[in-house]
Amino acid sequence: MPIVKDGRIIEDEWTVLDGGDPLGLASSMPLLVTPDELKTHATSLSGFTRLGLKLEPADAVEAIAADLRRIELVVLVFPKFNDGRAFSQARLLRDRHAFKGEIRASGHVLIDQFGFLQRSGVDAVAMDSPLSKAADEAAIAEAWEREVTRFQGHYQPAQGDLSQKPSMGLRRWARFPPAVGLTAGAVVVHEVSCAAAWAY
Amino acid sequence: MYAYDAFDHAFVQDRANEFREQVARRLAGALTEDEFKPLRLMNGLYLQLHAYMLRVAIPYGTLSADQMRRLALIARRWDRGYGHFTTRQNIQFNWPALVDVPDILDSLAEVEMHAIQTSGNCIRNVTADPFSGAAADEIEDSRVWAEIIRQWSTLHPEFAFLPRKFKIAVTGAEADRTAVKFHDIGLRMRRNAKGQVGFEVIVGGGQGRTPIVGITIREFLPKQHLLSYLEAVLRTYNLLGRRDNLYKARIKILVAETGAAVFTKTVEAEWERIHGGALTLPQDEIRRIEAHFAPPLLVAALADGGYAAARLESPDFAAWCRSNLFAHRVPGHAIVTISLKPAGGIPGDATAEQMEVIANLADQYACSEIRVTHEQNLVLPHVRETDLFAVWQALVAADLGTANIGLISDIIACPGLDYCNLANARAIPVAQRISRHFADPALVEEIGPITLNISGCINACGHHHAGHIGILGVDKHGEEFYQITLGGAADDDAAIGQILGPSVPYDGVVEAVDTIIQTYRSVRQTGERFIDTVRRTGINPFKEVLYADR
């Protein structure tokens, strides 16, 4: 299934182990495993050069933190679009554990969530909504790009390179995409006074 | 008041444009209703029994006169000439057409308003003390912090799809006027031993089908760490809150199931790892927001002779002054609460004309400021005593002069089965009957301070659990029945009401309330408030009388 990554359509090169045995697989094969499989097949997987990890929403990022240095891809799962645990998982992966590889949101993802995903540190999506039909992949890529510049600024620091430009001066916890020239500095706080001229 | 800068203006307009696209996709069939739902909800748009309902955010219940005029315009142009002020200090329009909603949002954006996060499973519009910046008992202005939270929480990427909705209240006064212990997070400004001001953090309060009074997880949080601490609580909740059962998804259930100690430890551990980072509030940034809320330049005045004379001459004015005024921090001024609870009226409803009257009064007499209370009334926060009589006369002329704040006819009620698709029973007509029954101002004043709250279903939007008298509509084999509770309270001594006995039919509610009040009048001690009597005697005396013949 094609993937949209950073707004471009790419082929999915990853093989899902899916309960199988890695013994006998070429160790150069990009292999996607679960945290359990990573533990169970620790020895045979140690030779693999390209490993991906699929985290369910209930999987604690903390528990796989030590493995992240040899992981190239983390797939996060949306069983339903309104299960937002993946947003926190993504932020923990990026912010706390400095994970530099690909974070891919999979499952029931809506294009309207792209902005939130980008700002949480997700850089790729594999959607299984009706929109993911081949004809619509270009539309998904386009939607992803559109979200990058949807807002000229954001009210809070979050994850994702695109939104990590801190504003200078006022409103210091806001973030701006680098392409946008809007500055928060040009603000005048008006004297607050009463309209009524009261004489005593 | 907070005034938008270029950043805020651009943001709200970008958001309105985004929703315009989403509505177009929905109308074209490119989005299913199921997929459109979370998007419209994050823009305050509900689908109710008969029509869409748009809930507009009034951040921490603060409105300018111009904003109020715009709400009147919206009510007239796109709705049926009225709006409904809610217990979240917001306003709801009950009859907008979906195609018009993008235009309404544009119109709101022009006056620095929006409907962002007034619904959906996200951080909702933050509430605060409606008397902020005016009350004599204030430690610090809670609006400053509510505004900072509004900004931080607006389209927060991590917390847009929480297990369930999330409500935050901030209070900065000695007396709590925000029901702070009935929120997912309640923030209460405190002064520590060193005289510094910070927050007591209360978590896990809420109403609904499992009413719980929030618990304090931190006695004192230094102000500059407010946002990082909120982020720690929210992240803990987002990752660990239940998602398998809609009714067990609020943070109160997580706190209860985890245990307060373990929950607190988890939050503190998370906070340990993020505090001191990007979310630390710089002093000058706090000051910048504070400057927006600088108090108006009021000149202290001696007691006004004309005002005292008017009270003597007009008993009605005097009664209104007794119930609807609150002490202002500047001598010679008062905080005026405008009752939206006339006898037989719909609690919280105001017509476009009434909104305009209030806007004009605010301009003329109250520094152009208006507040919304969680009891569904409106407030003119800064009125000179000299002007009170004129304000009162203008209010009376607009059917806004009811003297009943904090009294039995000042009823909180949800929209109930008249509008809401969740409701089991009507709430509005019950409120109307009760307020008609208790229409005599002398009687109402004699009964004294009391809260009476009505919800049309177990979701408790009418705060029945927290009412001194609580009334909950239930459905019994297709008939409306009402369960009555006594002893709830939303203030400093927050408590959940106790069920009195079997529910009463629709036609028996007024009589039941009347019986409770008669009982109170016969057993109370001199000067004892209703709630104090209930606390002293327990519910039994009331139960015995109410169910004597059954």
φ, ψ of residue A74 to 5 degrees: the values are: -120, 125
Question: Quick check: B469 and B483 in contact, CB under 8 A?
Answer: no
- pLDDT value at B247 more than 60: yes
**C-beta contacts of B319-322 below 8 A and 24+ residues apart:** B319/B403, B319/B441, B319/B445, B320/B392, B320/B401, B320/B403, B321/B388, B321/B392, B322/B403, B322/B445
Residue B84 in contact with partner chain A when CB distance is under 8 A: no
Could you tell me how many CB contacts below 8 A there are between chain A and chain B? 152
Q: Lay out the sheet containing B333-338: strands in order across.
A: B62-64, B369-372, B378-384, B333-338, B325-327
Which CATH number applies to B135-290?
3.30.413.10
Query: Strand runs (DSSP E) across B279-360, as ranges?
Result: 325-327, 333-338, 349-351
The whole-number average pLDDT for the span B94-110 is 95
For residue B302, what pLDDT band results from cuts at 50, 70 and 90?
confident
Q: Do B35 and A81 touch (CB under 8 A)?
A: yes
Position A148 scores a pLDDT of 84
Min mean pLDDT across B24-38, B102-116, B445-459, B536-550 is at B24-38
Question: Quick check: B139 and B187 in contact, CB under 8 A?
Answer: no
Q: Read off the pLDDT of residues B323-372 as tens digits, 9 standing for 90 and up.
A: 999 999 999 999 999 999 999 999 999 999 999 999 999 999 999 999 99
For residue B134, what pLDDT band results from cuts at 50, 70 and 90?
very high
Of B342, B381, B333, B341, nearest in space to B361 by CA: B381
Position A187 scores a pLDDT of 33
Position A164 scores a pLDDT of 55
CA A115 to chain centre: 9
- pLDDT value at A34 more than 80: yes
What is the predicted ipTM? 0.92
Q: Read off the pLDDT of residues A102-115 as tens digits, 9 standing for 90 and up.
A: 999 999 898 889 99
Question: Quick check: A156 and A175 in contact, CB under 8 A?
Answer: yes
| Chain B contact set for A195 (CB, 8 A) | 363, 367-368
Rounded to whole angstroms, the Cα distance separating A142 from B230 reads 34
- pLDDT value at A163 more than 70: no
Of B148, B211, B142, nearest in space to B183 by CA: B211
Position B326 scores a pLDDT of 97
Q: Are strands B168-171 and B215-222 parallel, antiparallel or unpaired?
A: unpaired
| Chain B contact set for A89 (CB, 8 A) | 239
Rounded to whole angstroms, the Cα distance separating B24 from B36 reads 11
For residue A159, what pLDDT band results from cuts at 50, 70 and 90?
confident
- In angstroms, the separation between the Cα of residue A148 and the nearest Cα of chain B is 13
For residue A190, what pLDDT band results from cuts at 50, 70 and 90?
very low
Which residue spans of chain A are classified as CATH 3.20.20.70?
Answer: 3-150
For residue A170, what pLDDT band results from cuts at 50, 70 and 90?
low
Rounded to whole angstroms, the Cα distance separating B93 from B45 reads 10
Q: Where are the domains of chain B?
A: 6-110, 135-290, 305-397, 412-546
DSSP A71-96: EEEEEEEESSTT-THHHHHHHIIIII
Question: Whole-number mean pLDDT of chain A?
Answer: 81
Query: What residues does B413 pair with on adjacent strands?
Result: B454
Rounded to whole angstroms, the Cα distance separating A33 from B34 reads 32
For residue A199, what pLDDT band results from cuts at 50, 70 and 90?
very low
Residue B232 in contact with partner chain A when CB distance is under 8 A: no
Q: Do A110 and B285 touch (CB under 8 A)?
A: no
DSSP B104-149: HHHHHHHTT-B-TTSSSSSBPPPEE-TTTTTBTTBSS-HHHHHHHH
Question: Quick check: B221 and B198 in contact, CB under 8 A?
Answer: yes
Of B342, B332, B444, B339, nearest in space to B388 by CA: B332
Of B112, B122, B108, B115, nearest in space to B55 by CA: B115
Q: Which of B14, B161, B273 sits opposite A152 (nearest CB)?
A: B14
| Chain A contact set for B299 (CB, 8 A) | 198, 200
Q: Do A187 and B1 touch (CB under 8 A)?
A: no
Rounded to whole angstroms, the Cα distance separating A17 from A32 reads 6
Q: At what angle do helices B226-240 and B260-274 cross, to 10 degrees?
A: 120
How many residues in total does chain A contain? 200
For chain A, positions 157-176, list CB contacts with chain B under 8 A.
157-159, 166, 170-174
Which residue is it, tokens 């929120």? Answer: B183
For chain A, positions 126-155, list CB contacts with chain B under 8 A.
129, 150-155
Q: Is B438 helix (H, G, I), strand (E, B) or coil?
A: coil
Rounded to whole angstroms, the Cα distance separating B89 from B375 reads 8
Residue B22 in contact with partner chain A when CB distance is under 8 A: yes
Residue A189 in contact with partner chain B when CB distance is under 8 A: yes
Q: Do B38 and A150 touch (CB under 8 A)?
A: no
Q: Do A89 and B384 touch (CB under 8 A)?
A: no
**Torsion from C-alpha of B88, B90, B96, B98, nearest 10 degrees:** -70
Query: Strand runs (DSSP E) across B158-279, as ranges?
Result: 168-171, 185-191, 197-203, 215-222
Question: Quick check: B242 and B249 in contact, CB under 8 A?
Answer: yes
Report which residue type is found at B172. Answer: G
Position A168 scores a pLDDT of 54
Question: Quick check: B403 and B415 in contact, CB under 8 A?
Answer: no
> Which residues make Cβ contacts (< 8 Å) with residue A188, sequence separation at least 6?
none
For chain B, positions 440-479, list CB contacts with chain A under 8 A.
none
Taking CA atoms, A151 is separated from B118, B244, B289, B360, in Å, by 20, 33, 22, 36
φ, ψ of residue B294 to 5 degrees: the values are: -55, 135
For residue A192, what pLDDT band results from cuts at 50, 70 and 90?
very low
Domain B6-110 and domain B305-397, same fold? Reply is: yes
Position B550 scores a pLDDT of 62
For residue A62, what pLDDT band results from cuts at 50, 70 and 90?
very high
CA B260 to chain centre: 26
- pLDDT value at B410 more than 60: yes
Q: Is B61 helix (H, G, I), strand (E, B) or coil?
A: helix
Domain covering A3-150 assigned CATH 2.40.50.140 in the classification: no
Rounded to whole angstroms, the Cα distance separating B350 from B341 reads 10
Q: Residue B233: count other Cβ atoms within 10 Å of its Cβ.
A: 25
CATH topology for B305-397 is: Sulfite Reductase Hemoprotein; domain 2 (3.90.480)
Q: Do A184 and B162 touch (CB under 8 A)?
A: no
Position B244 scores a pLDDT of 95
Rounded to whole angstroms, the Cα distance separating B545 from B518 reads 10
Q: Read off the pLDDT of residues B372-381 as tens digits, 9 standing for 90 and up.
A: 999 999 999 9
Q: At what angle do helices B428-437 and B509-523 cross, to 10 degrees?
A: 50
Of B26, B54, B35, B68, nearest in space to B119 by CA: B54
Question: Quick check: B252 and B211 in contact, CB under 8 A?
Answer: no
Q: Do B157 and A120 touch (CB under 8 A)?
A: yes
Position A41 scores a pLDDT of 96
Question: Quick check: B360 and B69 in contact, CB under 8 A?
Answer: no
The H or E element that residue B256 is part of is helix B251-258
For residue A133, what pLDDT band results from cuts at 50, 70 and 90?
low
Q: Is B170 helix (H, G, I), strand (E, B) or coil?
A: strand
Q: Do B296 and A193 touch (CB under 8 A)?
A: yes
CATH topology for B412-546 is: Sulfite Reductase Hemoprotein; domain 1 (3.30.413)
Q: Are strands A71-78 and A102-107 parallel, antiparallel or unpaired?
A: parallel
Rounded to whole angstroms, the Cα distance separating B500 from B515 reads 12
User: Could you name the CATH architecture of B6-110?
Assistant: Alpha-Beta Complex (3.90)
Q: Do A91 and B3 touch (CB under 8 A)?
A: no
Q: Where are the alpha helices (DSSP H) in B398-537?
A: 428-437, 441-447, 509-523, 530-537
Question: Whole-number mean pLDDT of chain B?
Answer: 95
In this structure, what DSSP letter does residue A108 have?
Answer: S
- In angstroms, the separation between the Cα of residue B61 and the nearest Cα of chain A is 18
Show the CA angle centred on residue A155, arms to residues A149 and A158, nearest 5°: 75
Question: Quick check: A50 and A30 in contact, CB under 8 A?
Answer: yes
The whole-number average pLDDT for the span B265-272 is 97
Q: Are strands B469-476 and B452-455 parallel, antiparallel or unpaired?
A: parallel
Of B466, B548, B493, nearest in space to B515 by CA: B548
Q: Within 13 Å, how many C-alpha atoms sit on residue B433's CB side? A: 15
